[in-house]
């Protein structure tokens, strides 16, 4: 069945930089904010299953009441590759806009609901909030990799309070986490043995344009500190979180004095640490290097510009800074290149530093910075034996620079799975451009916003796992073909494709030239359609039209809205069959991919496609040497032939299609004439999943023998059906 993607232009919600106006609560003019509680607020719009699928269901009546009539509703959130912000389209089904997304990786997600590009609202059924963005809600997907992000047991964590202080720039405030067992500071006096102790202090800076509260709402800093403390993985310390906007060395001095006056902290540099994210990292490092010795521990989390490092200061820096540790995400992180330049500058100046390595799956967002904080905090104020990168992190070999504008092959794919898209200058006046592709979990579809680059738009996204991808551009709510990409999809003229090679995608890759089978067109007269029609036919390497023993044949059908070209252009059927034949896994067979768009498929197949194929190719007419399979609509057609002509095809498979009712079914004929009936379906993101599972009950009640090896992870799309063909083809004609 054809995929029905959503359309429309959406406003991107920034993760790295929130405007100062938005931070202050003044909303961008392009968005309409709805925060009222609906009457049915007790019905959640979002439900996350134990197996990490997110189910969104937004009442259409609520949208209509608050936003009026709309043509599309999407959920914007950090669902994309490297946790980038992406747009997940919902489908209008009955009285709700709904959709399944997953399985999601463990971690914290934030999202908002947006209709028709500019009408955005907060999920009123989710009580979580993000202080710097009143539209956002959050949810946590549990799992071992997110264990530091869960709430600590009641009473086991530290406390967070607000510190208000006077600075030379006016009244300011900061957030302060104190560890379990911390005793508030009272009048000065002799401490004596066993009296209240003073603690080291870590100062965390937020990024420019962001808010200190983001460390809590999006960074889960309290949970991280609570859990590290509970496991004894960090030294007890006071952590001060400040807004880096407009801060300078004098501002930092005022903050440190206010903290020392209010809290039991050690004032000597050996017990002072500083770190920051984005611009806050640049400021943190600058403060530490400008006056070497005022902070003994320094963390750079995705800094955006490298400060000057003078070789003449190296001795003082090395003497005063016990730990300088650098962190960066992958090439989608704007800090990737500045971090590389910083490492080179520090090396030239002979300044000691540690590098955590490139986080291959981390971009410019709090998912990356959470991991940075978990690594950094346990290294403070004590002895650490491991000074290397985190497990799985990679060397920083150089700067990442896509080809110059106008020269980029579209898309430009790196060997490690990062993909750069670029438009022509045709869209220089566009307001919003995204790339829609099958890069969500399981092969679902997300749109990732592009960024204006002069007269063009660009996007680098990844890393994408080795596989086959298809995409289109959405320019101001209009689907557009990437004209720079020569690939085509006949049934979807706006789609283009690209392939990322790798071991996991070997069966989808081209075999060496001259070693594969052949695909050729077969024209046949359709008495049903009243016209000539076309099928594609794959013949195996070494196909012999004069072989004494006819070849087995598989009739392979497409879905609704598709055509006979789709299994080759989208299903990678030729590549799959070529590889499996060369691997020795495939019985030599002929595969006929006919046009299933017919008012009477049974007649089209048996009166037109099959006779023409038998006349043109050396294929068997024996039922034991014939197979019929199809996806979605084609799967329903295959099952329809099975019901009407049991035994005609000894091998039958349905991909993402249900059996239907049990009325009028000749169970004995099906069981006696069918050597294999094999069924496939995607996971709960496949919209036929409920009806498919119900049809298994029908088959069980009827007593029809079938094979079902469980769901194939993924949606109602080609990622699933390619895997189904990979599983099915080697099973044919071996019984």
Please spell the DSSP secondary structure of 535-600, one letter per residue.
Answer: EEEEE-TT--TT-SSPBPEEEEE--TT--TTHHHHTS-HHHHHHHHHHTT-S---EEEE-----S-
Q: Where is 311: in which H helix or E strand?
A: none
DSSP 234-252: S---EEEEE--TT--HHHH
What's residue 117's pLDDT? 81
Judged against a pLDDT cut of 80, whether residue 29 lies above it is answered with no
* pLDDT above 70 coverage of the chain, percent: 92
Tell me the two tokens of residue 105: 């990786």
Q: What is the pTM for the complete model shown?
A: 0.89
| C-beta separation of 333 from 368 below 8 A | yes
Instruction: Map residue 442 onto helix, strand or coil.
Output: helix
DSSP 60-79: HHHHHHHH-S-S-EEEEES-
What's residue 611's pLDDT? 98
Half-sphere exposure of 287 (CA within 13 A, CB side): 30
Residue with tokens 């997940």: 88
Judged against a pLDDT cut of 60, whether residue 315 lies above it is answered with yes
- Confidence class for position 663, pLDDT limits 50, 70, 90: very high
Residue with tokens 């706006």: 494
What's residue 471's pLDDT? 98
Judged against a pLDDT cut of 60, whether residue 130 lies above it is answered with yes
- Confidence class for position 31, pLDDT limits 50, 70, 90: very low
| C-beta separation of 141 from 105 below 8 A | yes
* 3-state secondary structure labels for all residues of 679-692: EECECCCCCCHHHH
Report the CATH fold assignment for 148-184+199-379.
Answer: Rossmann fold (3.40.50)
Pick the CATH number of 507-731 from 3.40.47.10, 3.40.50.1820, 3.90.76.10, 3.40.50.10800: 3.40.50.1820
| C-beta separation of 478 from 500 below 8 A | no
Averaged pLDDT of the chain:
91
Q: Where is 475: in which H helix or E strand?
A: strand 467-475
Tens-digit pLDDT profile for residues 175-221 = 999 999 999 876 554 444 455 789 999 999 998 777 899 999 999 99
Helices (H) and strands (E) in the chain, counts: 17, 34
* DSSP code for 622: S
Range in 109-113, 207-211, 639-643 with the lowest mean pLDDT: 207-211
Alpha-carbon separation of residue 217 from 130, 175, 279 (angstroms):
5, 12, 19
Tell me the two tokens of residue 181: 């067992």
Q: Which residues contact 374 (CB under 8 A, 6 or more apart)?
A: 148, 224, 228
Quick one: the chain helix, strand, coil %, rounded to 5? 25, 25, 50
Report the CATH fold assignment for 20-142.
Answer: Immunoglobulin-like (2.60.40)
Q: What backbone phi and psi angles, to 5 degrees, belong to 568?
A: -85, -45
Pick from 662, 613, 656: which is nearest to 642 by CA? 662
| C-beta separation of 298 from 284 below 8 A | yes
Judged against a pLDDT cut of 80, whether residue 2 lies above it is answered with no
Tell me the two tokens of residue 254: 């005022």
Judged against a pLDDT cut of 60, whether residue 604 lies above it is answered with yes
Mean pLDDT of 491-519: 97
**How far is Cα 631 from Cα 654, in angstroms, rounded to an integer?**
6
Could you check whether 20-142 and 148-184+199-379 share the same CATH topology?
A: no
Tell me the two tokens of residue 276: 């920051």
**Computed from CA positions of residues 136, 142, 145, 150, in that sequence, does the dihedral angle turn out positive or negative?**
positive
- Confidence class for position 27, pLDDT limits 50, 70, 90: very low
What's residue 9's pLDDT? 28
Query: Residues 189, 190, 196, 202: what is their CA dihedral angle, to the nearest 10 degrees?
Result: 70
Tens-digit pLDDT profile for residues 361-379 = 999 999 999 999 999 999 9
Mean pLDDT of 582-609: 97
**How far is Cα 470 from Cα 463, in angstroms, rounded to an integer?**
16
**How far is Cα 489 from Cα 450, in angstroms, rounded to an integer?**
23
CATH superfamily membership of 412-500? Immunoglobulins (2.60.40.10)
Judged against a pLDDT cut of 70, whether residue 17 lies above it is answered with no
Instruction: Map residue 316 onto helix, strand or coil.
Output: helix
**How open is the CA angle 673-643-604, to the nearest 5 degrees?**
105
**How far is Cα 336 from Cα 684, in angstroms, rounded to an integer?**
37
Mean pLDDT of 37-42: 49
Judged against a pLDDT cut of 50, whether residue 14 lies above it is answered with no
- Confidence class for position 41, pLDDT limits 50, 70, 90: low
**How far is Cα 315 from Cα 319, in angstroms, rounded to an integer?**
6
168 exposure class (CB count in 10 Å sphere: 0-12, 13-18, 19+): exposed
Judged against a pLDDT cut of 60, whether residue 5 lies above it is answered with no
What's residue 489's pLDDT? 97
Alpha-carbon separation of residue 411 from 414, 460, 480 (angstroms):
10, 9, 15
- Confidence class for position 245, pLDDT limits 50, 70, 90: low
Calculate helix-pair angle for 221-230, 366-376, nearest 10 degrees.
30
Report cis status (omega within 30 of 0) of the bond before 103.
Answer: yes
| C-beta separation of 602 from 628 below 8 A | no
**How far is Cα 443 from Cα 717, in angstroms, rounded to an integer?**
7
Tens-digit pLDDT profile for residues 317-364 = 999 999 999 999 999 999 999 999 999 999 999 999 999 999 999 999
* pLDDT above 90 coverage of the chain, percent: 82
Pick from 59, 20, 22: which is nearest to 39 by CA? 59
Judged against a pLDDT cut of 90, whether residue 151 lies above it is answered with yes
Instruction: Map residue 468 onto helix, strand or coil.
Output: strand
What's residue 15's pLDDT? 31
**How far is Cα 637 from Cα 644, in angstroms, rounded to an integer?**
10
What's residue 210's pLDDT? 79
According to DSSP, the β-strands at 478-480 and 446-449 are unpaired
Domain ranges of the chain: 20-142, 148-184+199-379, 412-500, 507-731
Beta bridge partners of 58: 97
């Amino acid at each position: 069945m054809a995929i029905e993607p959503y359309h429309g232009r959406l406003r991107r919600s920034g993760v790295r930089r929130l405007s100062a106006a938005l931070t202050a609560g003044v909303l961008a003019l392009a968005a309409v904010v709805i925060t009222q509680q609906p009457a049915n607020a007790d019905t959640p719009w979002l439900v996350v299953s134990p197996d990490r699928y997110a189910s969104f269901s937004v009442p259409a009546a609520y949208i209509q009441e608050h936003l009026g009539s709309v043509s599309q509703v999407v959920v914007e959130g950090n669902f994309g590759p490297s946790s980038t912000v992406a747009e997940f389209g919902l489908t209008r089904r009955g009285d709700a806009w709904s959709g399944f997304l997953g399985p999601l990786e463990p971690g914290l997600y934030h999202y908002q609901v947006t209709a028709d590009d500019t009408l955005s609202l907060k999920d009123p059924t989710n009580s979580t909030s993000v202080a710097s963005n009143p539209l956002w809600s959050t949810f946590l997907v549990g799992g071992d990799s997110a264990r530091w992000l869960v709430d600590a047991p009641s009473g086991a964590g530290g406390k967070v309070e607000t510190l208000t202080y006077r600075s030379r720039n006016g009244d300011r405030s900061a957030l302060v986490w104190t560890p379990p067992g911390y005793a508030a500071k009272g009048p000065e006096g002799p401490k004596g043995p066993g009296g209240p102790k003073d603690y080291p202090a870590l100062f965390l800076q937020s990024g420019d344009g962001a808010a200190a509260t983001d460390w809590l709402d999006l960074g889960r800093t309290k949970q991280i500190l609570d859990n590290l403390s509970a496991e004894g993985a960090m030294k007890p310390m006071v952590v001060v979180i400040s807004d880096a906007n407009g801060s300078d060395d004098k501002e930092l001095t005022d903050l440190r004095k206010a903290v020392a006056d209010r809290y039991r902290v050690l004032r000597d540099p050996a017990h002072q640490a500083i770190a920051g994210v984005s611009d806050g990292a640049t400021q943190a490092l600058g403060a530490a290097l400008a006056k070497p010795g005022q902070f003994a521990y320094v963390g750079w989390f995705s800094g955006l510009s490298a400060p000057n490092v003078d070789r003449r200061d190296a001795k003082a820096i090395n003497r005063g800074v016990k730990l300088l540790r650098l962190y960066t995400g992958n090439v989608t992180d704007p800090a990737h290149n500045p971090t590389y330049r910083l490492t080179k500058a520090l090396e030239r100046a002979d300044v000691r530093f540690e590098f955590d390595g490139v986080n291959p799956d981390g971009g410019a967002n709090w998912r990356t910075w959470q991991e940075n904080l978990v690594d950094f905090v346990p290294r403070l104020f004590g002895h650490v034996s491991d000074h290397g990168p985190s497990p799985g992190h990679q060397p920083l070999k150089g700067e990442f620079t896509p080809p110059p504008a106008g020269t980029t092959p579209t898309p430009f794919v790196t060997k490690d799975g990062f993909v750069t898209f670029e438009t022509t200058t045709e869209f220089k006046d566009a307001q919003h451009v995204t790339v829609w592709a099958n890069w969500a979990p399981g092969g679902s579809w997300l749109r990732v916003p592009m960024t204006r680059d002069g007269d063009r738009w660009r996007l680098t996204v990844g890393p994408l796992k080795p596989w086959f991808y298809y995409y289109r551009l959405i320019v101001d709510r209009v689907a557009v073909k990437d004209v720079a990409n020569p690939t085509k999809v006949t049934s979807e003229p706006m789609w283009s494709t690209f392939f990322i090679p790798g071991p996991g995608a070997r069966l989808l890759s081209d075999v060496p030239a001259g070693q594969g089978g052949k695909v050729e067109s077969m024209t046949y007269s359709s008495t049903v359609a009243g016209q000539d029609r076309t099928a594609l036919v794959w013949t195996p390497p070494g196909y012999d039209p004069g072989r004494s023993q006819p070849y087995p044949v598989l009739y392979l059908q497409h879905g609704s809205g598709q055509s006979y070209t789709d299994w080759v252009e989208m299903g990678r059927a030729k590549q799959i069959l070529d590889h499996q034949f060369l691997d020795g896994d495939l019985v030599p067979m002929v595969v006929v991919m006919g046009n299933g768009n017919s008012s009477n498929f049974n007649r089209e197949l048996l009166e037109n496609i099959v006779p023409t194929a038998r006349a043109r190719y050396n294929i068997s007419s024996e039922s034991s040497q014939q197979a019929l399979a199809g996806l979605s609509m084609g799967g329903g057609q295959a099952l329809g032939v099975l019901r009407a002509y049991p035994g005609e095809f000894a091998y039958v498979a349905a991909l993402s299609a249900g059996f239907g009712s049990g009325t009028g079914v000749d169970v004995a004929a099906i069981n006696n004439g069918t050597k294999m009936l094999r069924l496939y379906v995607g996971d709960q993101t496949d919209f036929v999943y409920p009806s498919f599972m119900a049809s298994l009950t029908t088959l069980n009640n009827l007593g029809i023998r079938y094979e079902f090896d469980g769901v194939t992870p993924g949606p109602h799309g080609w990622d699933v059906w390619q895997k189904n063909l990979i599983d099915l083809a080697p099973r044919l004609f071996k019984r």
